[in-house]
Structure 1
Amino acid sequence: MVDQFAELGVRNKKLNQFIAKSPQLLLRKPKDFLQIVLLFENMGFDKETIGTILARCPEIFAASINKTLQRKIELLIFYWVFLKLSFLGLSESIQNYVFLTLTKLCYKG
């Protein structure tokens, strides 16, 4: 696992702080860890940025993709889109339609 952390730029002093903050990540299966890295890469983050996220908030990499992380990301995207729409000056009825549609998408199943 330490090799995977190093590939993302988490080395030396950062690595010591990281392990002290979230030692449970050393017990993660590399496959599970790499799935989360891939999720962030698919969202457009480069390895350096993913390493920064890992160093600052390692608990994200201990989360379950299906049970926790994916839903939180969808919710953040939902709020971001809704906030953007509110600044576009769209009518309230259009905003409500988009809000309901996004809510259905975010909470499907």
Structure 2
Amino acid sequence: MTLSDALYNETAIVLHVIPASVDFTTSESMKLSQQYDPEGDRQLIAVSKIDKFDKGIKDKLRGLGPGSMSLRLGCVAVLNRSQDEIDQKISFDEMKKRERDFFKCHKAFEHVPDTYKGK
């Protein structure tokens, strides 16, 4: 099923995977989905590479400010495994712990509600 096919289907939810370092609005999938779901009722953003976040990420996750998208289903930020972590066969449980620690350690995320952070 193509993105445009999914967007025609009113029961489909579109998951956009967008790196934290780019404006969400410039994503090709976001541009296409605006034609079919301009209110953002059926869209969700998984913000990848959160360790490479840009200034203002706290607001972008909440759909506020430049480069963000206000979507009913919102955004969730996730910390990706590095190639070294994959090669070292780091377990998913360990990665979840590293992700939690990452969000606790960075001031940019201290006032971001947990619902916007991966688990």
TM-score clears 0.5: no
TM-score (norm 1): 0.31
Q: Which has the larger radius of gyration?
A: 1
Per residue, is there more helix in 1 or in 2?
Answer: 1
TM-score (norm 2): 0.30
